[in-house]
Amino acid sequence: MSRKTETVDSMGTDRPEIEIRGLHKSFGDNKVLRGIDLDIARGEVVCVIGPSGSGKSTLLRCVNLLEEPTSGQVFVGGTEVTDLDVDIDAVRRRIGMVFQQFNLFPHLNVTENLTLPQRRVLRRSKARAAAVARENLLRVGLADKADAYPAQLSGGQQQRVAIARALVMGPEVMLFDEPTSALDPELVGEVLSVMRLLAAEGMTMMVVTHEMSFAREVADRVVFMDGGVIVEHGPAAQVVGDPQHERTRNFLMRILDPAATEAPVEDAGVDVRKPVDGSSEG
């Protein structure tokens, strides 16, 4: 059963938690996003997959304006993030972001890494911030590492601390940009387990990932991107297990069976700029 529910705005209208409309992003002459439309409901988990350079990380970063779109609109919880007059700091407090790299302060211990943003941004007292830090360290299975420093932790533990640091701010949405790509293979599972827990709790999640088993098991929907457009999207079992578009099939073949001997996907003769349904709508 789907975890998703609908956001109701001040006018009583059902709205997705994340709305992306006609999103374009260019870096000079390089068109990275070519008119993306995508809705994500509250409590829904959407995994975004695709080859390197397909625009998936740029799309994620546009949601909280770490990258400023060239054109188009992004709404989070009914607030237009791309409005020039928006209080972007207020919007970002509702959005947790977990990167490939952990970005922990090496000179601060785990508790201090979690309490610092609470005290500076949310103006919580030292005692309240420490209590919230303990609660979320327990949530990610690291209650015993409260006094450890980042250098004393494994990569998987550091990434779980980074997730806890995002959670202490009380986000309504969590964005993950390939959170396991910098980890040794044996450490991937512990991070994915925390993400499974968040999904089960009903957290709205947008996850850029290459972990196909996680996408198939946890995601409500999977979006396959290439060439700056959404080529295919749908239920996870369909897109990962029975893709309808040739480009998606070629990509998954390479991911799931790296030793496959078929022609490289670049030579497959597919116009990746044309989504399966003739649009880039998510």
Q: Cα–Cα–Cα angle for 219, 57, 156, nearest 5°?
A: 65
Q: Which of 227, 264, 253 is nearest to 32 (CA)?
A: 227
pLDDT (tens, 9 = 90+) of the chain, 282 residues, equals 344 444 444 444 578 999 999 999 999 999 999 999 999 999 999 999 999 999 999 999 999 999 999 999 999 999 999 999 999 999 999 999 999 889 999 999 999 999 999 999 999 999 999 999 999 999 999 999 999 999 999 999 999 999 999 999 999 999 999 999 989 988 999 999 999 999 999 999 999 999 999 999 999 999 999 999 999 999 999 999 999 999 999 999 988 877 654 544 444 334 444 444 433 333
pLDDT score of 272: 44
Radius of gyration of the chain (CA): 19
pLDDT score of 275: 45
pLDDT score of 18: 97
Sign, CA dihedral 238-76-60-55, equals: positive
Element (H, E) at 224: strand 221-226
What pTM value is reported for the model? Answer: 0.86
Q: What string of DSSP letters covers 125-140? A: -HHHHHHHHHHHHHHT
Q: Which of 226, 222, 204 is nearest to 214 (CA)?
A: 222
236 three-class SS: helix
Q: How many CA atoms within 13 Å lie on the side-chain side of 177?
A: 20
pLDDT score of 277: 43
pLDDT score of 256: 80
CA 169 to the chain's CA centroid:
17
pLDDT score of 257: 75
pLDDT score of 280: 39
CB 229 within 8 A of CB 273: yes
Contacts of 132 (CB under 8 A, 6+ apart): 114, 118, 124, 168
